[in-house]
C-alpha cells in the first residue's frame, strides 16, 4: 500500500520539475488518445509542438504564437497575483468580455472621428470594464463573505449574455445588413490595433504583456505589496499580525486581475478579432488558469507557459486542419496539461511512502 507523507519543507526539485513532467505526461497520454482515434500520435505531437516553430510555414506561425500568447500572459499574470494571496478569481473570461465591450463601445461611440487619443481612451475603458466586473465578487466577498469562486464564475455567463446583446443590439453595425456584430476596427484606423512590425504578429497587446510581466516581477520581489500578497497566501495568520488588511487585499488583487483581463479583451477585439461578435470569447480566461499554474505563479514562468500554451492553440488548429482531428480532442489534450500539473504538484509538498502492513 502507498501513502502520502507530508514533507517538512516543499521540495525545490519538484517545484521546478512539475511543469516539465506534466508536459511529458500530457504528450504521452495525449499520444495514446490520438492513437485510439486512429491518428498517428507522433504526427500529431510534431504538428502541435514542432511545426509552428520549425515547419514550412514557421515564419507566419511564430507571429501567431505572439497573437495567442499575449492575452494568455496578461490574464494569467493578473490571476497569479490573487492565487498567490489565496484569492480565487475564476471569472477572468467574463472580465475579458466586459473589457472588450467597454473598450469597443468607446471607440464606436465616436466613429468615424480620427484622433490619436481614441485608442488610449479605449485602453482605459477596457481596463475599467474588466476592473468593474471583478469588483462585483470582490465587494460581495468583503461585505457579505460570499465565495468569490462561485460569484466570479457565474458572472461569466452574465457577461456572455451581454456580449450577445451587444452583438445583436446596442453595438451592432448599422451598415452590417442585419448580420450580428459590430463595425470592424480594421476599417477604423484611430481605434485599430494593427501589427507593429509587418508579418511579426506583434501588436500592442504583446508589448503590454511583456511590460506587465516585468512590472509584476518587480511588484512581487521588491515591493511591500508583493510581500503582503506572498505572506497572505503562505501564512494568513502571520499576515494579519503583520497588519495586512484581508479586505483591501481582496479588492486589490481582484481589481488588478480584472483590469488586466479587460486589457486583454480590448487588445483582442481591436486587433486579431477585429469586432465584437457573438463568438468573440474563445476561452482565454479559463485557459489562463492553466498558464498561471504551469508558470508556477511566477511572472517569468507565466511568459514561458503562455508561449507553450499558444503552441497548443496554433499547433492544435494545424492538427485539426491537416490531420482532421476534432477540436474537442485538442481541448482534451489541453485539459490533460492542467490535470497532470495538479496531480504531479502533490509531490512538491508530499512524498510517496510504502505503508506498513497491519
The C-alpha atoms of residue 311 and residue 123 are separated, in whole angstroms, by 27
Taking only the tens place, the pLDDT of each residue in 172-215 is 999 988 899 999 998 899 999 988 887 777 889 999 999 999 99
The pLDDT, as a whole number, for residue 352 is 85
Q: Which domains does the chain have, with CATH numbers?
A: 40-324 (1.10.3470)
pTM tops 0.85 = yes
The answer on pLDDT for 114 being more than 70 is yes
Taking only the tens place, the pLDDT of each residue in 324-354 is 889 889 889 988 988 998 899 898 888 888 7
The 3-class secondary structure across 304-323, one letter per residue, is: HHHHHHHHHHHHHHHHHHHC
SS3 for 38? Answer: coil
Scanning the structure block, which residue is given the C-alpha cell 498567490? 84
Joined grid coordinates for residue 23: 508536459
Longest dimension (CA), the chain: 80
Taking only the tens place, the pLDDT of each residue in 12-54 is 899 889 999 999 999 999 999 999 999 999 999 999 999 888 8
Q: How far is CA 138 from CA 82, 219, 236, in A?
A: 11, 21, 18
Using 50, 70 and 90 to split pLDDT, how confident is the model at 9?
Answer: confident
The C-alpha atoms of residue 33 and residue 355 are separated, in whole angstroms, by 33
The C-alpha atoms of residue 330 and residue 309 are separated, in whole angstroms, by 12
Concatenated DSSP letters of 254-314: HHHHHHHHHHHHHHHHHTTS-S--TT---SHHHHHHHHHHHTTT-HHHHHHHHHHHHHHHH
Amino acid at each position: 500500500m502507498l501513502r502520502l507523507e507530508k514533507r517538512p519543507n516543499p521540495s525545490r526539485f519538484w517545484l521546478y520539475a512539475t511543469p516539465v513532467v506534466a508536459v511529458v505526461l500530457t504528450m504521452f497520454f495525449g499520444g495514446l488518445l490520438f492513437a485510439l482515434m486512429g491518428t498517428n500520435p507522433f504526427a500529431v505531437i510534431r504538428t502541435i509542438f514542432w511545426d509552428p516553430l520549425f515547419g514550412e510555414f514557421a515564419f507566419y506561425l511564430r507571429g501567431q504564437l505572439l497573437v495567442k500568447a499575449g492575452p494568455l500572459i496578461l490574464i494569467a499574470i493578473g490571476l497569479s497575483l490573487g492565487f498567490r494571496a489565496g484569492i480565487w478569481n475564476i471569472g477572468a473570461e467574463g472580465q475579458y468580455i466586459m473589457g472588450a465591450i467597454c473598450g469597443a463601445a468607446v471607440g464606436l461611440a465616436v466613429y468615424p472621428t480620427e484622433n490619436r487619443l481614441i485608442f488610449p481612451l479605449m485602453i482605459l475603458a477596457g481596463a475599467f470594464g474588466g476592473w468593474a466586473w471583478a469588483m462585483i465578487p470582490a465587494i460581495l466577498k468583503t461585505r457579505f463573505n460570499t465565495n468569490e469562486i462561485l460569484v466570479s464564475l457565474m458572472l461569466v455567463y452574465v457577461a456572455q449574455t451581454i456580449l450577445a446583446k451587444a452583438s445583436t443590439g446596442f453595438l451592432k453595425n448599422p451598415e452590417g445588413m442585419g448580420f450580428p456584430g459590430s463595425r470592424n476596427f480594421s476599417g477604423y484606423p484611430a481605434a485599430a490595433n494593427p501589427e507593429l512590425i509587418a508579418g511579426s504578429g506583434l501588436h500592442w497587446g504583446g508589448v503590454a504583456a511583456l511590460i506587465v510581466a516585468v512590472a509584476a516581477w518587480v511588484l512581487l520581489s521588491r515591493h511591500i505589496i508583493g510581500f503582503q500578497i506572498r505572506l497572505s497566501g503562505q501564512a494568513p495568520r502571520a499576515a494579519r499580525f503583520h497588519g495586512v488588511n484581508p479586505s483591501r487585499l481582496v479588492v486589490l488583487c481582484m481589481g488588478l486581475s480584472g483590469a488586466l483581463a479587460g486589457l486583454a479583451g480590448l487588445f483582442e477585439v481591436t486587433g486579431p478579432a477585429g469586432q465584437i461578435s457573438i463568438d468573440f470569447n474563445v476561452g482565454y480566461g479559463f485557459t489562463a488558469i492553466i498558464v498561471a499554474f504551469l508558470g508556477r505563479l511566477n511572472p517569468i514562468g507565466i511568459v514561458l507557459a503562455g508561449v507553450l500554451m499558444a503552441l497548443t492553440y496554433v499547433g492544435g488548429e494545424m492538427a485539426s486542419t491537416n490531420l482532421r482531428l476534432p477540436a474537442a480532442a485538442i481541448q482534451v489534450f489541453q485539459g490533460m496539461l492542467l490535470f497532470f500539473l495538479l496531480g504531479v504538484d502533490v509531490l512538491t509538498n508530499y512524498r510517496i511512502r510504502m505503508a506498513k502492513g497491519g
